[in-house]
């Protein structure tokens, strides 16, 4: 499990720094806004973790086995899936070939992302059944995003301009604040080296997908 968490860490860093932020900067009229929204995402997830940790401490009978990273990851992944649905719908509205290309890109991007999310949820204390169910519910937000985009049309451009860097900030916070400290609990040299390799593998997969799709 610790190696899957390492892979998830690399995937989240790669997803934020290789996919989401370059996309946000490319479409932004003012790069400063992207930076501020990203910081806003970091702050949002900081507040969320404070809240969930407070709730964890004050309600031990219902939350003693679930790490606060679980609801944070669910929220971040749901936002990400919502954005994917918006992008797919907008692409199909422009042209069918562009829509197909975007769908394929999102599909290949989501495979390692969902593996990462699953490993985070399991490591955070969810059962296999609950982790799969939560992932399915989170993935369904893509359909909500697509319907929202088709309904709102071009007026949602400013909305997605903010949502993409906010999600990137959330991914950076989860990877840096929760997952990396989790990896430091193991100090064995061999296992630590394998952790590093898995982290690099997570980044490498996201890099490959960015280059190919």
Count of structural domains, the chain: 1
Tell me the residue range of the domain where 44 lies: 2-212
Task: Return the closest-CA partner of residue 12 out of 102, 86, 96, 76.
Answer: 76
The mean per-residue pLDDT over the stretch 168-195 comes to 89
CB 125, CB 66: distance < 8 Å: yes
Q: With pLDDT > 70 as the criterion, what percentage of the chain qualifies?
A: 84
Q: Helix, strand or coil for residue 11?
A: helix
Measured distance between the N- and C-terminal CA atoms of the chain, rounded to whole angstroms: 29
Q: CA 155, CA 86: separation in Å to the nearest integer?
A: 12
The answer to whether the pTM exceeds 0.85 is no
Q: Helix, strand or coil for residue 184?
A: coil
Phi-psi region of 28 (alpha: psi -120 to 50; beta: other; left: phi over 0): beta
Q: Which pLDDT band, with edges at 50, 70 and 90, does 156 fall under?
A: low
Higher local confidence (pLDDT), 94 or 138: 138
Neighbour tally for 68: CB within 10 Å: 20
């Amino acid at each position: 499990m610790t190696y899957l968490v390492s892979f998830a860490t690399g995937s989240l860093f790669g997803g934020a720094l290789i996919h989401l932020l370059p996309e946000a900067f490319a479409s932004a009229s003012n790069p400063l806004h992207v930076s501020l929204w990203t910081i806003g995402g970091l702050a949002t997830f900081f507040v969320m973790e404070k809240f969930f940790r407070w709730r964890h401490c004050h309600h031990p009978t219902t939350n003693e086995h679930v790490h606060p990273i679980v609801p944070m990851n669910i929220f971040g992944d749901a936002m990400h899936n919502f954005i994917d649905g918006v992008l797919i719908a907008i692409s199909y509205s422009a042209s069918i070939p562009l829509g197909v290309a975007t769908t394929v890109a999102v599909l290949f991007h989501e495979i390692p992302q969902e593996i990462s999310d699953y490993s985070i949820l399991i490591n955070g204390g969810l059962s296999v059944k609950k982790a799969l169910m939560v992932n399915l519910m989170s993935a369904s937000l893509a359909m909500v995003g697509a319907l929202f985009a088709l309904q709102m049309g071009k007026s949602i451009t400013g909305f997605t301009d903010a949502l993409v860097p906010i999600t990137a900030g959330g991914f950076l916070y989860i990877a840096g604040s929760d997952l990396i400290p989790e990896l430091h609990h193991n100090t064995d040299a061999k296992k630590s080296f394998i952790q590093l390799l898995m982290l690099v593998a997570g980044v490498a997969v996201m890099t490959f997908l960015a280059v190919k799709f």
